[in-house]
Structure 1
Amino acid sequence: MRLKLKLSSHNSTRVAINYNYSLSSAIYQLLNFGSSSFSKFLHDIGFVTSNKTYKLFSFSLQLEKYLLDEDAFILKSPVAYLYITTPLVDDFIKNFVIGTFENQRIEIMADNIFTYFKITQAEILPSPVYTQEMKFKMITPLVLSTGKLVNGKFNQYYFRYNDSMEEINRVFNQNLINKYKVIHKKDYSGTGVKINWDEGYIEKALKKDKRLSKKVSILKDIKNPVEVIGIFCPFTIRGDIELIKIGYECGFGEKNSMGFGMVDVFN
């Protein structure tokens, strides 16, 4: 299920570029108004399978009008929209909606920039019609990674669009299968999915020197930020409808609860 919140900035004119961690924290705070136990469980523990932890939600903040400064978005309109997506209707959506009515505000603090939004409206968005072949555009970057052995040590490597599609699809599928396991509480026995990038989009982007990847700093500890690299490119997905639905509702790829992997149908 997907929610759309209309926000209005209150005495705030700037939003930090690296707002992801702070906005994720604000979402947990709203959940806390509905159920402190669920909010604490999701934040501290989450859903675990195959030694991986999943929070099963993602989000995207869309500013109506802005200019880009060195370290911030300069708001030219007070209006913004926060999109939340999750399959956890009873636990997440219900408690989050309670939180929006109880608190009616979202505060973001990152890079010493404080932004205060009032929540002015909330609505449930209709789900798409899921088919065995769909085309999606990224609303937020898609993060996929693997371990690579460098000088005798395993390091985390973030995939780029021009890496091996076989490896990308392997990691992409395993992520969806793990989410399937925690949502349905059983092993997956289907045939998976396959994605292909939009080659026409890539060709046009490269001609315009437009970046197809994006680096975002996760500022849990401002002195030691975690640098995450995500892919920003439309893709076609073919295969198991259930996995496609899970990706749409949870976010595709990794670090969804930090605001990555959210998509919309690309017509």
Structure 2
Amino acid sequence: MSWGFLRDLLSGVNKYSIGIGRIWVAVVFIFRLLVYIVAAENIWKYEHDEFECNIKQPGCENVCFDHFFPVSHISLWALQLIMVSTPSLLVVFHVAYREKREKHHNQKLYKSPGEIDGGLLCTYLISLILKMGLEIVFLVLFYKLYNGFKVPRLVKCDIRPCPNTVDCFISKPTEKMIFLYFLVATSCLCIVLNLSELSYLIFKYSIKCYLKRYIKKCQGSESDCHKSGIIGHNRPAAAGRFHNSLASSPSIQ
């Protein structure tokens, strides 16, 4: 399987991410994608052929394997990698839309098309929420499909066409369990990184909006005080002119 498109996607997202987002990209690329390609894919490559039962009843091994492994660990891991990386396309598409809009109007509409603000900030936050949600969904899916995060050495199967309860043996259970724990650990780390980035961005732009409102309020108060000062300064002058006009008018006999 070629993973070039996923590599290009992650490198493209890296340009528009903040510090925590770049750490997430590094974790996905090094500790998940490379581990999958270099090691994990080979461990599960012949899992069906190496699954053995102590009976040679035709169809028994196939039925038992399908029962205990409805979806291969490695296939589900590959699907997870693709799905959790896909929301990042939202950010890439939004930046491309900004760049196209600037070319269409032939003028500078944004400080930088890749700067996280305004609508791009909302898109970025949505992508983070989707990535966290997908990570959690796949962790729950792993747990439900395989009754936990363990790979047993021996499973007992009594599904037809097996004539009775047979013992079936899983190949490399310890090695598979180590990689399964590694998968769970990296997924949890990615969730923590996404949550940290989401909290940081919300906090940062909440403070930014608060400061903007505070500055506008202060400027409005200073403007009102300035106007009040001008009015107060003009009132004594007007009173003085009125008093002088009374003094200069002829007395009424």
* TM more than 0.5: no
Higher strand share: 1
With structure 2 as the length reference, what TM-score do the two structures score?
Answer: 0.21
Computing the radius of gyration from Cα coordinates, the structure with the larger value is 2
With structure 1 as the length reference, what TM-score do the two structures score?
Answer: 0.20
